[in-house]
Amino acid sequence: MRQTRSWIAAAALAGATLTGAAVPAQAERELTLWSHWADHETKVAFVEKAARELESRHADVTVKITWYQKNPLYAALQSALRAGQGPDIFYLDPDRTEYIDNGLLLALDDLVNWANVFGWARSAWQHDGKTWGFPLEASTVEWYYNRGLLAQLGYEVGPPHFQLSQADFRALVEKATSEGITPIVQGVGDRPYPGAYVTHELLLKKLGKDDYGKLLSGGLSFKDPRVLEVFGYVEDLVKAGAYPKSFSTLKLGESHYYFHTKPGGVVFPIGSWYTSRAFNPPDKGGQPDDFPLGMMNGPAMDDGACNACKTNNVAGSFVVNAATAHPELAGEFLNILATPEYGNLWLSTVLVQTGIKADTSKITGPYSDYFKTLEAVNENAEYFFGTPLQFFKGKCRETFEQVMNTGFPAGLVDAGTATDMMNDGCFTG
């Protein structure tokens, strides 16, 4: 009997020890997340809110978020994932398909409640029949403009198309230059894509969605007469002084300031995430409170196949590491985001479109007019999904960055040379 009691006591002690050991092990559950947007306060607040909500649901869970700028984030991810390390969840743009090709991502089809995500946004992350990313941020390429300067130069845009003709836009550029005003604000000092906005949006309008898609996929030559015509038109704009002298070195943040504050410019083609910087207070790099912000569509090309076309792009997204030890937790975190409440919260605080289903009519406050204008400008739009960077890889991507993004709009190469170089890098016949 005594021996039995001893065994029971020993078993109880062992059980208590094991239980005791198990509790701290659970308490140590940590979901790690690496994200871009270190300097985007509203996005940081949005993601942190979701993290705290997950923690409030599970007392034993901690969500550890590390904030980066985009380039250092990608460098860190490349090293960590190669070594079989890396966070449970991380930020990724849909053009980074090499993460899918190398089996580094977990398919999210069964983890996320896709009913609350727009189909077009989900499709940006669908490859081989699976969905690999959660499309948090979405944007259209918009042509923001300074209403005061445009009126001063004698131009006006309005419904239904909100766009100038090809000839009028060139005349606008020439007139602005003659008056010492920068016509198109753009800088490529720290980004591989803004310098190509004008060219690729005009190519889309000229070629239409199908042929433009072929061009980006290597199936249409850059020596196609319609492509040459667009490059020739953009070359004319460049020669007319369309871009700032500091175009090659002007950084993205600086180009915002250049456009809305000093020295100012007429048009600023950029993703509709313009607002995430410009709608900050002026002392944090935002536009002045009384800045007369307008929105237009890119100029209608003569004989354009689709002058209502514009690029719609899923940008900042979250993906789950294939090697994560906490796939359910990661899925739960994403499902916290995948709700109309969070969709509306994103819209009303970050002021950028999102892949989460949200209702822009519910947005009130000082920026509600902005969203009404955005809706009006996009009312008749036909979207092409994806930017060139989402299609280009390797040498083609490098050529795009150096030629279409920098050299050509900076006037360093002419249209003929630029199309030759793009063909050499991208055209597969």
Q: Are 37 and 337 in contact (CB under 8 A)?
A: no
239 is a site residue for other proteins (CB under 8 A)? no
Binding part of the chain for other proteins, among 3-11, 20-28, 94-102, 329-337 by CB under 8 A, reads 94-102
96 is a site residue for other proteins (CB under 8 A)? yes
369 membership: H or E segment, kind and range: helix 368-377
Torsion of CA 146, 149, 150, 153, to 10 degrees: -170
Query: Measured from the CB atom, is 119 or 263 closer to other proteins?
Result: 263
**84: phi > 0 → left, psi -120 to 50 → alpha, else beta; which?**
left
403 is a site residue for other proteins (CB under 8 A)? yes
231 is a site residue for other proteins (CB under 8 A)? no
393 is a site residue for other proteins (CB under 8 A)? yes
Least distance CB 253 / other proteins (angstroms): 14
d(CA 168, CA 309): 19
69 is a site residue for other proteins (CB under 8 A)? no
Question: What SS3 string covers 285-315?
Answer: CCCCCCCCEEEECCCECCCCCCCCEEEEEEC
95 is a site residue for other proteins (CB under 8 A)? yes
357 is a site residue for other proteins (CB under 8 A)? no
Q: Are 90 and 318 in contact (CB under 8 A)?
A: yes
Query: Measured from the CB atom, is 30 or 190 closer to other proteins?
Result: 190
410 is a site residue for other proteins (CB under 8 A)? yes
Least distance CB 402 / other proteins (angstroms): 5
Least distance CB 192 / other proteins (angstroms): 9
**400: phi > 0 → left, psi -120 to 50 → alpha, else beta; which?**
alpha
d(CA 272, CA 141): 6
103 is a site residue for other proteins (CB under 8 A)? yes
412 is a site residue for other proteins (CB under 8 A)? yes
Residues 6+ apart with CB under 8 A from 13: none
143 is a site residue for other proteins (CB under 8 A)? no
Least distance CB 264 / other proteins (angstroms): 12
Query: Measured from the CB atom, is 244 or 331 closer to other proteins?
Result: 244
Quote the tokens at residue 362.
Answer: 């519910």
194 is a site residue for other proteins (CB under 8 A)? no
315 is a site residue for other proteins (CB under 8 A)? no
d(CA 182, CA 267): 8
d(CA 374, CA 354): 14
127 is a site residue for other proteins (CB under 8 A)? no
Among 393, 401, 410, 129, smallest CA distance to 250 is for 410
Binding part of the chain for other proteins, among 41-49, 101-109, 151-159, 269-277 by CB under 8 A, reads 101-109
Q: How far is CA 362 from the centre of its chain?
A: 23
Quote the tokens at residue 230.
Answer: 């667009």
Q: Which residue of 113, 249, 361, 368 would you call a contact of other proteins, by CB under 8 A?
A: 249
**Interface positions with other proteins (CB under 8 A):** 74-75, 78, 81-82, 84, 95-98, 102-104, 244-249, 263, 393-395, 397-398, 401-403, 406-407, 410, 412-413
